[in-house]
Structure 1
Amino acid sequence: MDEKPTTRKGSGFCSLRYALALIMHFSNFTMITQRVSLSIAIIAMVNSTQHQDPANASTEGPVMDLLSNQSRGIKDFSTRAAVYQWSTETQGIIFSSISYGIILTLIPSGYLAGIFGAKQILGAGLLISSLLTLFTPLAADFGVILVIVIRTVQGMAQGMAWTGQFTIWAKWAPPLERSKLTSIAGSGEDVIGCVCCVLWFTVIYDDPMHHPCISVREKEHITSSVAQQSSSPRRSVPIKAMVRCLPLWAIFMGFFSHFWLCTIIITYLPTYISTVLHVNIRDSGVLSSLPFIAASSCTILGGQMADFLLSRNLLSLITVRKLFSSLGLLLPSLCAVALPFVTSSYIATIVLLILIPGTSNLCDSGFIINTLDVAPRYASFLMGISRGFGLTAGIISSTTTGFLISQDSESGWRNVFFLSAAVNMFGLIFYLIFGQAEIQSWAKERTLTRL
């Protein structure tokens, strides 16, 4: 007898797959917090108004004097705490060093996660990154080289934690819920790392078949939805076919463009707020958090909208992917181009700075998860390559930004944003022309016929 595929949604929001998305949300939140915390702290660490000694970059006021008067404000504290002679170019290298580390582990960790399972790799990456964050302040006292080394190793750990997520979603996310689930998890990217590790190792499983607490209804819903995908953990990777695949290159170019501007916002936002708007470090930290709140909200909202359009058959899958990719690349470009012309208006500048990462994260429902559409068997491996393209863009953009603003602050920031908009437009046009959503022939499961 022929059986109709089930259309039941399991337990809905009260289900293990949504709990998995929530834990991933907090894990990603932890990693992005660990990444951007130095961007905020560096405003006080390289206080240019402080006289600096040439030796290793640091001077410190008497510690006991600081402790004797705890009522002093943040401004006073920043002038008495350690100050390092890190030039704008050096800061660019420090900011980009974590991206170097991520690149080193993206492809191998994604491949290994597909073979051995993602749970251990992701958990270990999160734990290592969390521990290294604790050692960063101490490393700064020993010199900038050690800071760069710590950040690079931390990037390697985060690369392990980020890449394997798509291996898990290839097995846990029903096709019509992929945008929703991955957006909930991804919105966390925008102290509690060790707690997340405990949850990760005790609650997360690589696939729903082996989870001891999953309901039969939810297990049937997930497995029937992803039945067309390969269940074999060992498989060769068709590198040649991937290299010749234009839809994959469209995804790679989308990542390159998206990460170019996003990396600038993540790493240089506190510096921009401090130097252009002349805001103190306390208020700068508050203002710097607003774009990330907007980004998380837009990510979740975009995922809900994308899955709604797909579940109601209002738009085809490729139309949804290209629509959200267009919104996620075009809107932040317009905001970036407008920024240099509204610096005289405090409110307008803050609004645009909030809108850039917020609208940019709509890409999460576009090309960001497109590898799950075109090659679900190799989603984790391809996500590693995709993020490699993105992080390469982040390294270039961070270094370029540091160089441009060191020449002249006003014209430098203008050139930074204009260049970012041009890169975004290149990626968008390439994706609109070559992007697809069908499973590629080389990514399909080959059934062996026995006589």
Structure 2
Amino acid sequence: MENQCLPKKVPGFCSFRYGLAIFLHFCNIVIMAQRVCLNLTMVAMVNSTEPPHLPNGSTLETLDDLKGTVSTGQHGIWVKWAPPLERGRLTSMTLSGFSMGPFIVLLVSGFICDLLGWPMVFYIFGIIGCVLSLSWFLLFYDDPKDHPYMSTSEKDYITSSQQVDLPRQSLPIKAMLKSLPLWAIIVNSFAFIWCNSFLVTYTPTFISTVLHVNIRENGLLSSLSYLFAYICGIVAGQLSDFFLSRKIFSVVTVRKLFTTLGIFCPVIFIMCLLYLSFDFYSTIIFLIFANSTLSFSFGGCLINALDIAPRYYGLIKAVSSLFGMTGGLISSTMAGLILNQDPENAWHIIFFLMAGINVACLTFYLLFAKGEIQDWAKETENTRL
């Protein structure tokens, strides 16, 4: 149970937990920069406006899966570091780095390719990643109460707002497999990563083949989607915590609201992109909104596991990420095949497939998602009062 007797004065934005979120934010920027730079430099490497062949898409998604293990490991941090009413803003602050990374790399990679050559893109972001990795080993501690640089008041605030230390117990595998709220999270992670992986990987290709712009303009146009995605992610985290702290909506209502915005809004704008875009500017506007609104999921299904099973949060995120990365791999591979075999109708086929998956997964989530701790995730023995 959560202790309601919290310290009256608690550190706010200028605190270590927010500093940790900002540090992870920059780590995620670099992770995505290293991942996305290949998507744009690929255009320079092949020096062609033709769609990339299947091996390129497969290579890209293999790299995506390797980077995905890093984001999975981050989710377990907030079980101990995030007070319940700050989960939305802290996790969204962290996850929004995945949107800012593509914005930065797509903004500057075109210029770097033109001025210094495409290999320098990898050297620059690789060096920054090494510096952040070394800093992480020095600054991070698994448990806030063990950190030597945190104030006592902040330690008391974080630990008093968390659940008590949970005793070990056997993993309720059978109950988890039967849990529809858990499957709702996993299914929507599949849709989110399917959609996100395709948009991250193939937005530069779409702009290059449909709008016929050079690599520098391609980078600038592609980057706008992620700037707006960054803003949507931050807004989602702040609003979700605001609705919960003011008791405007219940937890499950907040999660369903932001999941709907994050999964269904891209479908709307993708359909607008196919049927209502008549010129260069309308195409860019719809493409930007299709990419950016996906980030509303940061306040929805992407942190819902922390509501229903904080004890198993890390495990659930690992499993849902595994399913999601499988979806990302399939989406990238199928997109490559479709672009190679049917260039004229490829984008319509790909976008309709993505829309169908999003709608189906969202429907399942709205039917079965929950916002309270499930019975199989509660203490069953050695309960400490």
What's 2:340 paired with? 406
The count of corresponding residues between Structure 1 and Structure 2 is: 355
What's 2:15 paired with? 15
Decide whether aligned partners of structure 1 residues 366 and 334 sit closer, same or farther in structure 2, where only a CA change above 3 A counts: same
What's 2:202 paired with? 268
**TM-score, normalised by the number of residues in structure 2:** 0.88
Structure 1 counterpart of 2:227, which letter?
A: I
What's 1:293 paired with? 227
Decide whether aligned partners of structure 1 residues 160 and 9 sit closer, same or farther in structure 2, where only a CA change above 3 A counts: farther
What's 2:44 paired with? 44
Decide whether aligned partners of structure 1 residues 4 and 306 sit closer, same or farther in structure 2, where only a CA change above 3 A counts: closer
What SS is found at the alignment partner of 1:93? Answer: helix
Decide whether aligned partners of structure 1 residues 14 and 431 sit closer, same or farther in structure 2, where only a CA change above 3 A counts: same
Mapped pair 1:356 → 2:286: no
Decide whether aligned partners of structure 1 residues 49 and 417 sit closer, same or farther in structure 2, where only a CA change above 3 A counts: closer
State the alpha-carbon separation in 1 of the partners of residues 357 and 266 from structure 2: 12
Answer yes or no: is the 8 Å Cα contact 2:61–2:329 preserved in 1.
yes
Decide whether aligned partners of structure 1 residues 8 and 393 sit closer, same or farther in structure 2, where only a CA change above 3 A counts: farther
Decide whether aligned partners of structure 1 residues 8 and 160 sit closer, same or farther in structure 2, where only a CA change above 3 A counts: farther
What SS is found at the alignment partner of 2:219? Answer: helix
State the alpha-carbon separation in 2 of the partners of residues 10 and 274 from structure 1: 50
Structure 1: which 5+ runs fail to align?
A: 51-85, 103-154
Q: CA deviation at 1:410?
A: 3.5
**TM-score, normalised by the number of residues in structure 1:** 0.75
What's 1:241 paired with? 175
State the alpha-carbon separation in 2 of the partners of residues 354 and 209 from structure 1: 42
Decide whether aligned partners of structure 1 residues 418 and 216 sit closer, same or farther in structure 2, where only a CA change above 3 A counts: same
What SS is found at the alignment partner of 2:76? Answer: helix
Answer yes or no: is the 8 Å Cα contact 1:25–1:186 preserved in 2.
yes
Mapped pair 1:92 → 2:57: yes
State the alpha-carbon separation in 2 of the partners of residues 183 and 449 from structure 1: 32
State the alpha-carbon separation in 1 of the partners of residues 7 and 241 from structure 2: 15
Structure 1 counterpart of 2:219, which letter?
A: G
Mapped pair 1:223 → 2:223: no
Alignment match of 1:331 (pick from 265, 288, 313): 265
Alignment match of 1:392 (pick from 298, 302, 326): 326
Structure 2 counterpart of 1:174, which letter?
A: P
Q: Deviations over 1:402-440 (max 9, x none)?
A: 111222333110111111111100111000000001111
Alignment match of 1:171 (pick from 80, 84, 90): 80
Q: Deviations over 1:25-68 (max 9, x none)?
A: 01111111111111101112122479xxxxxxxxxxxxxxxxxx
Alignment match of 2:144 (pick from 199, 208, 212): 208
Q: How does 1:58-137 map to 2 (within 5 A)?
A: 88-99=53-64, 102=65
Identity %: 46
Decide whether aligned partners of structure 1 residues 299 and 277 sit closer, same or farther in structure 2, where only a CA change above 3 A counts: same
What SS is found at the alignment partner of 2:174? Answer: helix
What SS is found at the alignment partner of 1:409? Answer: coil
What's 1:365 paired with? 299
Decide whether aligned partners of structure 1 residues 283 and 24 sit closer, same or farther in structure 2, where only a CA change above 3 A counts: same
Structure 1 counterpart of 2:281, which letter?
A: I
Structure 1 counterpart of 2:282, which letter?
A: A
Deviates more, 1:35-44 or 1:401-410: 401-410
Mapped pair 1:379 → 2:309: no
Mapped pair 1:317 → 2:282: no
The structure with the largest alpha-carbon Rg is: 1
Answer yes or no: is the 8 Å Cα contact 2:96–2:230 preserved in 1.
yes
State the alpha-carbon separation in 2 of the partners of residues 159 and 340 from structure 1: 30
**Relative contact order, higher structure (CA 8 A, sep 6+):** 2
Q: CA deviation at 1:160?
A: 3.6
Q: CA deviation at 1:298?
A: 0.9
What SS is found at the alignment partner of 1:410? Answer: coil
Q: CA deviation at 1:290?
A: 1.2
State the alpha-carbon separation in 1 of the partners of residues 300 and 382 from structure 2: 34
Decide whether aligned partners of structure 1 residues 35 and 446 sit closer, same or farther in structure 2, where only a CA change above 3 A counts: same
State the alpha-carbon separation in 2 of the partners of residues 9 and 245 from structure 1: 39
Deviates more, 1:271-280 or 1:353-362: 353-362
State the alpha-carbon separation in 1 of the partners of residues 149 and 172 from structure 2: 36
Answer yes or no: is the 8 Å Cα contact 1:340–1:414 preserved in 2.
yes
State the alpha-carbon separation in 1 of the partners of residues 353 and 200 from structure 2: 17
Mapped pair 1:427 → 2:361: yes
State the alpha-carbon separation in 1 of the partners of residues 52 and 233 from structure 2: 35
Alignment match of 1:305 (pick from 239, 245, 258): 239
